[in-house]
Amino acid sequence: MSQRKIIHCDCDCFYASVEMRDDPTLRGRPLAVGGRAEHRGVVATCNYEARAFGVHSAMSTARALQLCPQLLLIPPDFERYRAASRLILAIYRDYTPLVEPLSLDEAYLDVTGVDRCQGSATRMAEEIRGRIRDEVGITASAGIAPNKFIAKVASDWNKPDGQFVVRPQEVDAFVAALPVKKIFGVGKVTAAKLARLGVHTCGDLRAWSLADLTQHFGSFGASLYRLCRGIDEREVKPDRIRKSISVETTYVTDLPDLAACRAALPALMEEFARRFERTQSRRPVTKAVVKIKFADFSQTTAECAASGPDVATWLRLLEEGHARRGLPVRLLGVGLRFAESEDDADEGEGKKARQISLFGDLPG
């Protein structure tokens, strides 16, 4: 394993923290930032008082209010969040140019060979977190490890306002005890499949050969094989390459049938066109995608080869996806995937993980 020194910094309930910073009367009360229940909003993030009631990000606001009737709901103010993010990124870049932002509130830092704090990544993480507290007015947690995978897991270990270090000699034992759901790209479906196979921890997963994992999980099997052993050779990349672009809308009233979905598509494509123009990406487009979430919350994604935005292609994918369930629709999304470089393919995140990221997991 390469003896890199990687720090993963992650601000604690970022949007909610900015709100509590700017209005101290909100502190100590269950608080969520998100959309209104009557507009089928979702929770973008919530503070720890709300989490005590079972509220979490990506939960519907209606469900959050059922769990916590006294929940304070605040609409997001992304200008203030971006302003705080710029300050935080400036702090990171004061330590190393190798900063890879993952969202407004989290990033990887490669501090290998950095002389500050006598070269101690642990001390640098402490200093960075202190500066975020003093200069931005919110708290952050950090993980320190020899690679990105372990650093990201470690940053969640002592939240909120804490940090955890995994030294090179500790990697093997630390990873062996991890639940497989901690592996990037392992969601509920994959975790359930692994459980049926008797695999619950990374230690359990090590008993499986690369060939067996590939047979059961396709190309993602290679990632499982490496990560369950704590092997992650991905570099921290300051300029992350956009792999996809998309827009989606959750409708206040379900779209009752395919005709209504077709009628809703032009507005979605207009929004997509504005976002696509802003990206100014020169990478070739390889696929068009349509995402559909039905009234029963089941979800499907239809995709095909494409070279750019195309109304007829998206309409065909909409028809294909809708036919799989034929139910009223609560959410529609359209998107494009860009061609991958060799470096992208080597990251080993798995096709399923890339599909999930296309439609933008909520940060915070």
Query: Residue positions in the annotated binding site for Mg(2+)?
Result: 10, 105
The 72-74 sheet, strands edge to edge:
43-46, 31-34, 72-74
Contacts of 156 (CB under 8 A, 6+ apart): 10, 141, 143
Considering the candidates 19, 49, 100, 106, report the single residue annotated as catalytic: 106
126 noted as active-site residue: no
Which residue positions form the known binding site? 10, 105
Q: Which residues pair with 145 in a beta bridge?
A: 6
Q: 138-164 as b/e, with b when 16 or more CB fall inside 10 Å?
A: bbbbbbbbbbbbbbbbbbeeebeebbb
Report the DSSP pairing between strands 163-165 and 31-34: unpaired
Q: Which residues participate in catalysis according to the annotation?
A: 106
